[in-house]
Structure 1
């Protein structure tokens, strides 16, 4: 195999490898999406529908929206690969599931009671509705009560929808309804408008202490009059401090960077259309605040950290392809050359045998006059192997390293033998 044939084979192999890699990297555009929202009529469901419309209009994608009980079920579906996107509360324990595509809007904790003078401490021993099992309200509400010294055994929790919870409250089956939702929730607005329900005051800074034990939340407030109840009147009567958390549009870490980038780009550029369809989405922003727990998807990061492309960036793919082709072709050429030379290289077996024989003789014990002969033989072996290594007739591989160690050990044994003989002569 001559040098020209080696180069030709290297170039051919490089073209095949790079071509295959290029096809694998530049996968087909993702056009079918499934979004997991929330309960029918709730914010999650309406927001998911608004997102679906914008993605259909901007990219021509086929987007399906499915209902769920809330954040917990959404994360489970995402982990199982049943959906591509889902809405989830930022404070919900996520394990290793999900990456952030964007932060959609803020949700805050509402605690609804009958008596406006009631305090959170008064709910010790009460029955409290905290949403469906696995939904986002459950974990936050339980953490809040615990922070106020009300442990689980002092409260009877009811797992039910917001609609059922409000019915239970009016029927006297519960004393409070907890729900984490966006300000202006239509169901809460309708319930408060009847005048028999109120929003519970949680203190001046309820999130301050809770955040030490329950991370990924922040201080928030419900503005005065956010929920109109009559002409010129609304609840709360004064701004109400509460606990806030953000709703994240989460995607799988397996989603390709190009798909995540296009998704983020479509949502960011479609923010106006999204806000018209659902006003909460006017808050849409990058999910990079300190209290956000979901790591950014790499495609999302690329979008939010983008700059105007330079010449190199515009031509990065062709340049990368060319450089990779040359690098791999060179690497294959070197490998083929090594294989070619390897066929001419002598093995170390004969030298291993010689050193092994010498070592065995030294271990058994030998005559003093043999030591100088053995020493010269070891030096001859070292010179021969070094010369052949430099002439590329021996490979500088792991076997050669092992051989050098054995040769060094034999030489040390010879040196030790000589030293002992010299000491014996001196004493004599």
Structure 2
């Protein structure tokens, strides 16, 4: 456990006595972490954080890492109290924020912006699909129900003047989407995740693939006019095997969220360990390399949890 967390906990009256007996003040905390697909970055990073929080905060019970469909399910779990820490894309979190009242202890609050998702529109390398409008009539996985992918895919299609009804839309998770493309059962799939996403990297090793450039046809510009929470981004050449040229896409911030009612000291401890263990997290997933103290506070429109805010203020002096 970090020195600051220990000293803060020691000032908590009865909890200080627990520390004197070498017990962590957080020993009785049982955390449930809602992540995403087991082949995605959320699950990898959530699993690594679970181990770090267990060890550094002295949790008697290892945190439970829950595989989910993604952001939308995670936000449902947070609201229902069936998860304590969740990952979410900014677009889903922003929409859910409108459903809660001021002062609601179940309202989402941010611990940190952790990394940015990269939208992937994956097709076989020889596909005639070169722009989003080319998806009309095609067999396309638009994301699993309950995921953040299905939210952003619908918005991207809308920016191109399409709806799900204009496609042969299938609602598949990441693993099933990868297998469906590999077997020729679908023509394309949407995915929003860290770069590289292991399942997509694995597909690129199995067969030549290509990412569709979202700048084609003005789709990215139209999307950002409607939804300014997204930013333009680039997948670099060789970001995946077979990817010969950089591809323009969109980025969506990813947040680590908790309920507003989480005790401040626990929230501060979670954030402290996040930064203390960055190198170890990066050894598990390269997306953790972008965890940065200055960028972490960029969680608008979701407010930082007071415990997280206190940590950042202390770190910045």
The TM-score with structure 1 as length reference comes to 0.61
Alignment counterpart, residue 183 of structure 1, candidates 157, 175, 195 = 195
1:191-235 deviation digits (Å, cap 9, x = unpaired): 12233432212226754331221242111111111112xxxxx31
Change (3 A) 1:41 1:194: closer
Aligned CA distance change for structure 1 residues 64 and 58 (closer, same or farther; 3 Å):
same
Count, aligned residues: 281
2:21 maps to what in 1? Answer: none
Give how far 1:140 is off. 0.5
Q: Which residue of 1 aligns with 2:69?
A: 69
Cα distance in 2 for partners of 1:80, 1:240 equals 39
- The equivalent of 2:81 in structure 1 is 81
1:225 and 2:227 matched: no
- Aligned partners of 2:48 and 2:185: how far apart in 1? 36
- Is structure 2 residue 149 aligned with structure 1 residue 137? yes
Query: Which structure has more helix as a fraction of its residues?
Result: 1
Aligned to 2:46: 48
Q: For structure 1, which runs of at least 5 residues remain unmatched after alignment? A: 1-21, 229-233, 310-428
Gaps of 5+ in 2: 1-11, 17-24, 101-106
SS of the residue corresponding to residue 42 of structure 2 reads helix
Q: CA deviation at 1:170?
A: 3.9
> Are 2:122 and 1:112 equivalent residues in the alignment?
yes
Contact 1:216 1:293 in 2 (8 A): no
In structure 1, what is the equivalent of residue 177 of structure 2? 165
CA contact under 8 A between 2:159 and 2:219: conserved in structure 1? no
1:128 aligns with 2:140: yes
Give the C-alpha shift of residue 41 in structure 1: 2.9
- Hey, what's the Cα distance between the residues in 2 that align with 1:307 and 1:112? 41
The residue aligned with 2:286 is: 279
Conserved? CA contact 2:132–2:219, under 8 Å: no
> 2:226 aligned with 1:213, yes or no?
yes
Offset of 1:24 from its aligned partner? Answer: 11
Instruction: Provide Cα deviations, 1:290-333, integer angstroms capped at 9, x if missing partner.
Output: x7432111111111122688xxxxxxxxxxxxxxxxxxxxxxxx
Change (3 A) 1:104 1:307: closer
d(CA) in 2 for partners of 1:168 and 1:195?
A: 13
Q: For 2:301, what is the secondary structure of its paired residue?
A: coil
Give the CA deviation at 1:280: 1.2
Higher relative contact order (CA 8 A, sep 6+): 2
Larger-Rg structure? 1
1:406-417 equivalences under 5 Å are none
Query: How far apart are residue 269 of structure 1 and its match?
Result: 1.7
Structure 2 equivalent of residue 419 of structure 1? none
- The structural deviation recorded for 1:57 is 1.8
Q: Distance in 1 between matches of 2:316 and 2:249?
A: 41
User: What's the secondary structure of 2:69's corresponding residue?
Assistant: coil
Pairing partner for 2:314 from 281, 284, 306: 306
SS in 2 for 1:305: helix
- Check conservation: 1:91, 1:215, Cα contact below 8 A: no
Quick one: distance in 2 between partners of 1:101 and 1:249? 5
Question: Shift in Å at residue 174 of structure 1?
Answer: 2.3
Q: TM-score by structure 2 length?
A: 0.81
Q: Which runs of 4+ in 1 moved over 4 A?
A: 22-26
Contact 1:287 1:296 in 2 (8 A): no
